[in-house]
Structure 1
Amino acid sequence: MGIYLKRSVTVMALAALFIVTACSSGAKEGTADGTGEKPSIEIVLNNAGRKFPEGMDENKNPYIDYIRENTNMDIKLTTPPADGYGEALNVIMASGDLPDMILSYDPNWFESYVRQKALTPLNDLIDQYGQNLKKNIPEEAWKTVTVDGKIYAIPSLNPIPGNEIIFARKDWLDKLGLNAPKTLDEYKNVMRAFAQDDPDGNGKNDTFGLILQENLGKTAPFIGAWGIQRGQWTERDGKLVMSSTLPEMKEALAYLADLYKEKLIDPEWALNKMANVDEKVASGKVGLFSGNWYDTRGPILTNQKNDEKAEWITLEYPTGPDGKQGTWGNNYVSGYNVVPITSKNPDAVIRMLDFMIGDGYRTLVLGFEGEVWNTQDGKVVTNFDEHNKHIYRQTLSEAIVPLEAEVSRDRLDSLGMEFKLNEIIDQINSVAIRNQYLGVPTAGMGKNGPKLGKMENEIFTKIIMGDLPLDAFDQFVEDWKKNGGEEITNEVNQSN
């Protein structure tokens, strides 16, 4: 546990102010329904650096007032700095006066404080006060916050099934007389043409067949052609195994290494940050890439503004040698709402979250009807000036998110039907490959996971770039097992 209890002087100094303001009100004597008193709770959320309109702050705005009024509670919100948020939570947990609820995004943080018996089991409270929570959170998500039969967090879910889908310049395909690719070989032919046949017609050798990101970013649809994804647990012969160590991963690396050897991949790919990828797409150097589901409103839109001829489409996911397709599927859980064991009003926390994921969710996501949005012809139409003015409300709406909600689709459509956001998400969902381990992180993951992940990134990058032979993968598998991978595998299979 020592790693979680170490505190730097710098972090302590930064955190001192918000610990005092978050946890020293002394107004925790109110109790839940039936006493005639208004419950008072203190909660900690990540505001992600969002700004407030003049005269407002996290505790003085119409959206937190909306929750207060509808739950009949006195709610005090603290938002530590977004940078260093995880460390700030450790400082709060080490203080002598804890809030009633904390939202963490780190599963290892969650697992650590479960083991330290610092969190309140919530099963009975959920049964009594959390009907909307039970309705909107699936069994798979509850499993990830359950230890020895006890639920220790209310999970906030990730309704986006995955991030990556392949985009292509249709105008380039048409100019070069190419059909939209479907198989891995057809994809390779398109990459070769985009790299070598001057698709932008400027007479220069300045376009890429494919662009990737550092640490093998933006490779998910290509690896998915073998039916797996990196860093996930998948079942083989009744046992969970790490997909990154399977023979199929070696075949996927061979495909990517061949693309690089033929100079079809951006030669700077191993140094590309997301911003570099976005800039190269926007500047017209790229005609094929695995992008984020929202890139039609990002670098693709910028490219279309720069070049009126640019026309982008989504492609079918590449089909592998056995007819498989796939892309990275996000974990069900994105956040952990925990109740420290010292809370005097854990029932009020559950009732608040139940309202936020139930009757209050639409307003917290979209904003107030008639102010931020209206309905026209049955569709939600957003006033973007008001939407941006009150964007801070997302701190509240993101604290507790259901897996499926029609309002989420309405919101994406309201951003512009031309961006096809829901259509893209549905396409991702049709092939998303999800992690098959649904338990909490194991002790071995916390101890060895970062080291193993770093080793994987380094070895796989060198294999693709030809700095190591393909057979270096076999040594990677052995080293992975010796350096904690076998221990983690045993833990995963014992607890699953």
Structure 2
Amino acid sequence: MAKWKKTISLALIAVMAGLTACSSNGGGGNADPSASPSATNAGSGNEAPAELEKKSIRVVFNNGGRKFPDGMDENNNPYIDYIRENTNLDITLQLPPADGYQDALNVIMASGDLPDSIYTWDASWFESYVKQKALQPLNEALEQYGQDLLKNIPEDAWKTVTIDGNIYAIPSMNAVPGNELMYVRKDWLDHLGLQPPKTLEEYREVMRAFKEDDPDGDGQDDTYGFIMAENLARMAPFVGAFGIQKGMWTERDGQLVNASTLPEMKEALAFIAGLHKDGLIDPEWMLNKEANFSEKIASGQVGLFSAFWYDTRGPILTSKQNDPKAEWIPLEFPTGPQGKQGTTGYGYIAGYNVVPVTSKNPDAVVRMLNFMNGEGYKTLLLGFENEVWKTENGKIVTDFEKHNEHIYRQTLGESIRPYGAEEERARLDSLGVEFKLNDNIDRIAAVAIRDQYLGVPTPGMGKHQADLTKLETEYFTEIIVGKQPIEAFDEFVAEWKKKGGDTITEEVNAWYAENK
């Protein structure tokens, strides 16, 4: 990955804050420092609540349809009270319905009564309102009150929400680096005298043996070598063996190109098409939705697949419950002909917290989010200590009944996640170390291939991306199942470029020229 220049360093934020302080006429973050006795140490971002001015703010979050215990609601529960008490803020939450949430945000923005902060997961929505000058920069408020935010959110994430030198959103981070890694039934390997595969050819041989050599010993021809899912899902590690991931932008000769159009993708499709031709993949893979995909694993029809990191608590666990002999282990990612490994890496950002230009309290919003992202995050993530969880022998032990009762707290925690927080690891271990959730995530992180375009969606993406994705899925599926020859990949590339791909590539590289 290219080394990115540091467009938004702490020093630069400090300079911008100094430049804007003299001319601002907006929110409390721009107030005359002499007006408050706490101003002398405002830069720490961690002042005791009593030192900070009492303010009232209204905040829009996405509740995801979570229920509150009887007698409670979004503004009457111990977790929102916890934030209020630790920030000296009077916070009112507004939770639009989970269904149609983004539409509700547009209604809010069109109203004459805007809140102080809004959470969205839609990068296009964020970009659109920046262009409409409907959101205000947060550089100064971050420097004064957001030191935990600046520390806990990586620079590439700040880069994504920075336009013309101004930070227009405080991002919430993805908790995991990616999703897929390979798992295999070791008891099947042992029964057939096979070693865990490493190279693509070794993987192919395991698939052949699992399909043809009766790995479960029941005398029936009832097992598959490998399984995939509809819309080309669950194949990322095999594409990663060629050093790329579908749909991602990657650097070639100083320019960003879409990996789906590269010769390496043609090689990956040829390999997977060969597996299908030889009958090594579940022939119904194009129709596999998540439920029947998981059922085939749980019922013992397949012993090798690209697992989500949490599948050890899902279909793999059910497989073990159905068959006590089932022993599943993670594998090394398949190594391709050039010695490469990889899987889909997620972008850093899961959501955006923005402040409408009408708000007079950007400083208060940053104070709230800084506490939620820093000192308060452990409680918002895990729940209250000695009520939802406790420490035994140095490990967090969760009371799952209380965890479920307090699940509404995650509306707050997910809205402003830090990156790589130790609390996240503790939480996953508390769900059962036997599921190896942190180990799975670490394996993914070691080879995750991330998109090298870090900007917001371009106009061309908004206009063409949906059609291009559909085009890609149709061509790639037909190539894999043999409906079209591998040479059809070249036709796909030509169509992709003509139908908007060239336009998007030009836009992406205009961004890249300014940010690499």
Shared fold, TM over 0.5: yes
SS of residue paired to 1:430 = helix
Tell me how far apart the structure 2 counterparts of residues 107 and 283 of structure 1 sit (CA, whole Å).
40
Aligned to 1:415: 431
Between stretches 79-88 and 476-485, larger displacement belongs to 79-88
Map of 2:142 onto structure 1: 126
Distance in 2 of aligned mates of 1:311 and 1:228: 31
2:442 corresponds to 1:426: yes
Please state how far the C-alpha of 1:276 moved relative to its aligned partner. Answer: 1.8
Give the secondary-structure state (helix, strand or coil) at the position aligned to 1:216: coil
- The answer to whether residue 88 in structure 2 is matched with residue 88 in structure 1 is no
- Native 8 Å contact 1:216 1:461 kept in 2: yes
- Report the Cα offset of residue 37 of structure 1: 6.0
Check the 8 A contact 1:164/1:328 in 2, yes or no. Answer: yes
In structure 1, C-alpha distance between the alignment counterparts of 2:206 and 2:382, rounded to whole Å:
41
Q: Distance between the aligned counterparts of 1:455 and 1:122, measured in 2?
A: 40
- Aligned-residue sequence identity (percent) comes to 68
**Equivalent in 66, 69, 72 of residue 53 of structure 1:** 69
1:204, CA displacement in angstroms?
Answer: 2.1
Alignment of 1:109-188 (within 5 A): 109-188=125-204
Take 1:445 and 1:103, find their aligned partners in 2: how far apart are those partners? 22
- Paired letter, 1:474: D
- Distance in 1 (CA, whole Å) between partners of 2:205 and 2:99 is 44
Name the residue aligned to 1:231: 247
Choose from 181, 199, 224 the match for 2:215: 199
* Other-structure match for 1:217: 233
Query: TM-score, with normalisation over the residues of structure 1?
Result: 0.92
1:281 matched to 2:297? The reply is: yes
Q: CA deviation at 1:30?
A: 11
* Partner secondary structure for residue 162 of structure 1: coil
The secondary structure found in structure 2 opposite 1:340 is coil
1:467 alignment partner, one of 447, 468, 483: 483
Find the partner of 2:329 among 304, 309, 313.
313
For 1:441, the equivalent position in structure 2 comes to 457
What is the TM-score when the length of structure 2 is the normalising length?
0.89
Q: Which amino acid aligns with 2:319?
A: N
Q: Distance in 1 between matches of 2:111 and 2:325?
A: 59
SS at match of 1:226: coil
Corresponding residue of 1:269:
285
User: What is the 5 A alignment of 1:215-364?
Assistant: 215-364=231-380
Q: Quick check: 115-124 or 249-258, which moved more?
A: 115-124
CA-atom RMSD, angstroms? 1.5
Paired letter, 1:169: R
Shift of 1:97: 1.3
The farther-off stretch of 155-164 and 75-84 is 75-84
* Other-structure match for 1:405: 421
Partner of 2:18: none
What CA distance in whole angstroms lies between the structure 2 residues aligned with 1:467 and 1:92?
Answer: 48
CA distance in 1, matches of 2:240, 2:435: 25
Q: CA deviation at 1:34?
A: 4.1
Report SS of the residue matched to 1:231.
coil
Q: Shift of residue 249 of structure 1?
A: 0.1
Distance 1:429 1:235, change over 3 A: same
Q: How far apart, CA to CA, are the structure 1 residues paired with 2:344 and 2:128?
A: 27
In structure 2, C-alpha distance between the alignment counterparts of 1:449 and 1:286, rounded to whole Å: 34
Equivalent residue letter for 2:219: G
Structure 1 segments unaligned to the other structure (5+ residues): 1-28
Equivalent pair of 1:120/1:339 in contact (CA under 8 Å): yes
Q: Helix, strand or coil: the match of 1:257? A: helix
Q: How many residues align?
A: 468
Contact in 1 for aligned 2:186/2:329 (Cα 8 Å): yes
Question: Do the aligned residues in 1 keep the contact of 2:182 with 2:307 (CA within 8 Å)?
Answer: yes
> How far is the alpha carbon of 1:438 from its aligned partner?
1.2
Matches within 5 A, 1:387-406: 387-406=403-422
- The range that moved more, 277-286 or 213-222, is 277-286
Q: CA deviation at 1:203?
A: 2.3
